Structure formats: structure tokens, C-alpha cells
Homo-oligomer: A and B are copies of this chain.
Amino acid sequence: MKIISSPQELKEHLKSIKNSIGFQGNQSIGFVPTMGALHEGHISLIKKAKEQNETVVVSIFLNPTQFLKGEDLDKYPKKDEADKKICEISGVDVLFFPQPSDMYGADEVSILAPKVRGYVLEGESRPGHFNGVLTVVMKLFNIVNPTRAYFGKKDAQQLNLISLMVKQFFMSVEIIPVDTVREKDGLALSSRNAYLRKDERAEALKISSSLRLSSAMVSRGVLDAKEIKSAMRELLAPLEIFYVEILDREFNQLSKVEIGNTVILVEVKVGATRLLDNIWL
């Protein structure tokens, strides 16, 4: 596995790979951007990228611009050596490991998330968060120039906004959504789970329970969004609820679940930790 920290060096390296002959025309490059603290969720993204591409690139970059003032940037789990091992074992070809000064300069041009879709849900409680996400993803895409890029469905709004940016900016990469990986008891994997105390971890199970409840209601023929959300909120109490939403796949409000075109999203605070999850119906 090659480890590269310079954006220019990575760009040159991948350009020569991409221009060489692959199975179908040029070589394909699969890209998995991460902030490190890798877990089974990331590994499933890497696996998918390995299946579909000739070369797999993973980036590990704890992106400062997507953390607001007072958020947990300094506290975010760092596991550089373990992360490198995981990438090596998973068969990653190139690991991109830049420093903030490699990615950002002074007085920067940046990306502004859409005024509506970027400032609802997680964007409402973290205004500006998605500007930072989209800025770093645009930079990473321009450096790696991937054929396909892999994102977890767990961060559904992030996935939605990145897909929107790719479409609106006529970018060439194909965005591949990958199913959320869960613990046996249902808890969605997240680097932030490391913050949870034992009692908090038990409380956090209410999140996936509430999503299973919504799915069960829909199976029973209950499609009314208000009714489903109210049942979910009841189950989630007494956690601090940021939102419980039922949206279509383009993130418009739904009053009735549309099978095949619905995302049900939850974000809550467990202790001091913000956790989110969702289910695609």
C-alpha cells in the first residue's frame, strides 16, 4: 500500500494509473473518503470499492472546516496507526493522508451548501457544517479524480448533498451509496459511539428501535407520516430529539410514506453525544 500526503503527488500518481489501460477502457479508481477512526462501516465501503474498481484509494483527513466552533474536533477519535493497518489488510492500493495545511490555505474559495437543503435537519443544528463537507469533498474529488466514490447511507443528508453537488457541477464521478453497518443489537456503527458510556449505549438502542418501529408500521399499512413520527418520538423519549423526519429520496417532506422513495431520519443526543441514523423504505 502506497501512503501519500501531498495532494499534487497523489494527483500525478493517480493520473498515470487512470490513463493506463483497464478492463473497460481506462483503469477505474474507487475512492473512499474518511475522517479516520475506521470501523466495520468503512471496511464495507472499501470492500464495495474493491469489487467495482481496479484501484482503490482511501483518504484519512479529519476535516476541520466541517466542525463548528465548540464542536468536538479536538476530541474526535484519532487512531492513525490502527487505521493504516486496517487499510493495508483491506487491500487498499493508495492511502491519502494529508495535513490541514496540505488541503487549506488562507482566504479560501469555498463551497456553499444549498440555502434550503443544506440548512435543514443536521444543517439546522450545525449551520455551516455542510459547507465544510462539500468543500473538502470537492477538493478530494479533484485530487483523486475517481471513477466511483463510496459513502454510507447512515449520513443520508451528506450523501444527498454530495450527489446534488456532483450533478449541479457536472462532475464525472459516480456516487455509490452503501448500506449502514450495525452492531448485532441494531446500533449503527459510528466513530462517535466510542464516546458512549455503558448506560448511554443502552439508551442509544432506542434510535434503531424507533426505525424498526417505523418499518413495522409501514408493513402493517400505516403510511401517514404524522402518525409514524409521533410513535417514534414516543419510543425515543426521554432522549433529546433533534429531528424525526420522513422525506422522499430528494429530501422533500412527505405526508405519506412512498414505498421505494422514502428515507426516515432520526437525530438525537445521548448524554453529550449526537447520534444519527435512518432507514430507506
Contacts and interface: CB of A to CB of B under 8 A. Distances in A.
A162 to B, nearest CB: 9
Nearest to A7: B170
Interface stretch (A83-91, A114-122, A221-229): A114-122
Interface residues of A, number: 34
B139 A105 contact: no
A110 B107 contact: no
Nearest to A114: B107
Nearest to A115: B107
A117 to B, nearest CB: 5
Contacts of A247: none
Nearest to A8: B170
B114 A142 contact: no
A143 B168 contact: no
7 contacts: A11-B170, A11-B172, A107-B116, A109-B113, A109-B168, A110-B114, A139-B168
Interface of A: 7-8, 11, 19, 26, 104-105, 107-118, 131, 134, 138-139, 142-143, 145, 161, 164-165, 168-172
